[in-house]
Amino acid sequence: MKNGKDKIKGLVCCCCGSLTKGRQWYNRDIGYGLCDRCAGWLEGKGTTAEEMTSCYGERGVHYCINLT
């Protein structure tokens, strides 16, 4: 779901295997998402915003969610 109405839940990072909080992205295996650390690493190595959205969903909605 793209609008962020799904509940935030515990997911396993598809990149490093750590536990993270996020929303399921339809293009990702169930139970997997992207942790904040790996999101920063991917962006730092040049992964475009379009690639990030295609693979992991929307920043702030599916991953890198501000929980405070």
Q: What are the residue ranges spanned by the domains of the chain? A: 9-56
pLDDT tens by residue, 5-64: 789 999 999 999 999 999 999 999 999 999 999 999 999 999 999 999 999 999 999 999
Report how far residue 40's alpha carbon sits from residue 26's, in angstroms, rounded to the nearest whole number.
Answer: 21
Q: With bands split at pLDDT 50, 70 and 90, how would you rate the model's confidence at 3? A: low
Residue 1 has pLDDT above 90, yes or no: no
Report how far residue 19's alpha carbon sits from residue 36's, in angstroms, rounded to the nearest whole number.
Answer: 10
State the sign of the Cα–Cα–Cα–Cα dihedral 53, 15, 4, 29: positive
pTM of the complete model: 0.88
Q: Which residue has the tokens 């515990």?
A: 10
